A and B are shown apart, each in its own frame.
Chain A
Amino acid sequence: VNTPARVAALYEAHADMVWRALRRLGVSGHNLEDAVQDVFVVVNSRLDEFEQRSSVKTWIFGIVLRVASAYRRKRVRRESEITSDDCQLVGTSRDPQEAAQETEAAAIVERILDELEDDRRSVFVMIELEEFSAQQVATSLGLSVNTVHSRLRLARRDFEAGLKRVKAREKWRER
């Protein structure tokens, strides 16, 4: 089997998810493009070891979590020649106004997520944004389902608090 072709197909199918998830797990700017590459380079090198026990999406998300955490640990600041001014997430709806609002919603969500503690953030992103089940998250992260639920509860509470802060700030600016 032609591996580059398989990886290219996986990129087509999952690039959006990888991109979104990395960004929401705290990778930004130049690093985001690099991290996306890293994920698919790992996908490429591990492709033969992928067992059909999980869906490809879950498998790739597991890699995303590890790459994101490596970037957070290293706080990588690597100069890259590649342009990064369109590294942010953008709305995808056909209607321009809807798309603009999606873009903005994404940016607000990122801002709030940036304030969440890492463990809670991962669970929140997987369940609330990528719509994994608690069971899938538990398996991916090697946690019990109860722990996943408890982290999700705390993450939701933190997210709501963050949203309140964003709204308050916005109101203040509008005065």
Chain B
Amino acid sequence: MTNLSKDAVVLLDAARRAGPSASARERGKARLLAGLGAGSAATAASVVAKATLLGGSAGSGVAVSTVASALLVGMGLGVSVMVAAIRLTPSEPPRPVATQHAPRTATPAQVSSARAVASAAQRSDEPALLPNARKLTDNRGLPAADEGAPSLSRETAMLASAQKALGSGQAQVALETLEKYRVSFPEGALREEAAGARILALCELGRQSEGERERQAFLSAHPTSPLSARVSAACQIGSR
């Protein structure tokens, strides 16, 4: 059997440690539970929405080109250098990796701490046999979880869409989506999160007095909300 080159081994070794971003992973879980009609779906989706709102889109928009060069140049220098670059805490100041290219680079600390909570894939030695393999091959139009799913997954989707707009500087779009949300789900399970996002959008748009008014209302309605700090901070930044 031909073995892989050292460069390939190092590359694969690093790639093996990548996974979904914490936010994508949690969003997937909420959507799954909502689709399954789990009793805890509302809670799950709410947790996700909070995570999204609190953490922004952790792991999104990850820079490619500059780190790519670092990695590939490392390969040119030989495997030990590359291993050192990948494995060890850098002894020299890190290159200004990717920040100019991607202001929204993942905060890996956030990702990994979130993932530390999440479980690791289990590895076991198994005399494998795949039951029902053939039955599963039929192309019976695998159902997407949101087809006919309860409104919760639509709520989550709408809020995620607003959050995305907010994250990409389209506060007006976010505000319109949140207005749609308010009309569609006046008693929605995620209305607290939607209200928080709305305040962020208002402040982002420079509508400070409205934002402030809603912030006060938000804080008295949800005094213990994990979103309150974020909401307050965003509006302060906006009012400078």
**A interface residues (Cβ-Cβ under 8 A, vs B):** 3-5, 7-8, 11-17, 19-20, 33-34, 36-38, 40-42, 44, 46, 49-51, 53-59, 62-63, 66-67, 70, 73, 78, 80-83, 85-109, 128-129, 131-132, 135-136, 139-140, 142, 149, 152-153, 156-157, 159-160, 163, 166-167, 170-171, 173-174
Chain B contacts of A96 at CB under 8 A?
A: 94, 107-109
Known: A8-B38, A99-B111, A102-B14. A15 touches B160 (CB 8 A): no
Chain B contacts of A106 at CB under 8 A?
A: 14-15, 18
Count CB-based A-B contacts (< 8 Å): 305
Question: How many B residues touch the partner, as a band?
Answer: 35 or more
Known: A105-B15, A107-B68. A139 touches B129 (CB 8 A): yes
State how many angstroms separate the Cβ of A111 from the closest Cβ of chain B.
9
B32: contacting residue among A13, A40, A102, A109, CB under 8 A: A40
Q: Which residue in chain A gives the minimum CB-CB distance to B93?
A: A97
Taking A85-B60, A103-B67, A106-B18 as known contacts, 10 extra A-B pairs with beta carbons closer than 8 A to each other, sorted by chain A number, are: A20-B18, A41-B142, A54-B131, A86-B59, A88-B21, A101-B70, A104-B71, A105-B12, A160-B8, A171-B76
In the complex, the answer to whether B131 meets A53 with C-beta atoms within 8 Å is: yes
How far, in whole Å, are A82 and B122 apart by their CA atoms in the complex? 29
How far, in whole Å, are A107 and B106 apart by their CA atoms in the complex? 14
State how many angstroms separate the Cβ of A19 from the closest Cβ of chain B.
4
State how many angstroms separate the Cβ of A141 from the closest Cβ of chain B.
9
Complex interface bits, B107-149 against A, C-beta within 8 A gives 1, otherwise 0: 1110111010011111110111111110111010011111000
State how many angstroms separate the Cβ of A13 from the closest Cβ of chain B.
5
Known: A83-B161, A102-B14, A129-B16. A67 touches B25 (CB 8 A): no
Chain A contacts of B126 at CB under 8 A?
A: 54-55, 57-58, 136
**B interface residues (Cβ-Cβ under 8 A, vs A):** 1-5, 7-8, 11-21, 23-25, 27-29, 31-33, 35-40, 57-64, 67-73, 75-76, 85-87, 89-90, 94, 97-98, 105-109, 111-113, 115, 118-124, 126-133, 135-137, 139, 142-146, 157-158, 160-161, 163-164
In the complex, the answer to whether B33 meets A4 with C-beta atoms within 8 Å is: yes
Q: Which residue in chain A gives the minimum CB-CB distance to B75?
A: A167
In the complex, the answer to whether B109 meets A94 with C-beta atoms within 8 Å is: yes
Q: Which residue in chain A gives the minimum CB-CB distance to B41?
A: A4
In the complex, the answer to whether B33 meets A139 with C-beta atoms within 8 Å is: no
Known: A59-B131, A70-B142, A100-B105. A90 touches B68 (CB 8 A): no
In the complex, the answer to whether B158 meets A81 with C-beta atoms within 8 Å is: yes
State how many angstroms separate the Cβ of A150 from the closest Cβ of chain B.
9
Known: A38-B144, A108-B71. A167 touches B76 (CB 8 A): yes
In the complex, the answer to whether A37 meets B35 with C-beta atoms within 8 Å is: yes
Chain B contacts of A13 at CB under 8 A?
A: 119, 121-122
Q: Which residue in chain B gives the minimum CB-CB distance to A83?
A: B164
Chain B contacts of A53 at CB under 8 A?
A: 127, 129, 131
How far, in whole Å, are A80 and B32 apart by their CA atoms in the complex? 15
In the complex, the answer to whether B98 meets A100 with C-beta atoms within 8 Å is: yes
Q: Which residue in chain A gives the minimum CB-CB distance to B111?
A: A90
Q: Which residue in chain A gives the minimum CB-CB distance to B144?
A: A34
A-B residue pairs in contact (CB < 8 Å), sample of 25: A7-B32, A16-B120, A20-B20, A38-B145, A41-B36, A53-B129, A54-B131, A56-B122, A57-B124, A81-B160, A86-B23, A90-B21, A90-B106, A92-B17, A102-B15, A102-B17, A104-B70, A105-B14, A108-B71, A163-B8, A163-B11, A166-B72, A170-B68, A170-B69, A173-B69
Chain B contacts of A92 at CB under 8 A?
A: 17-19, 108, 111-112, 115
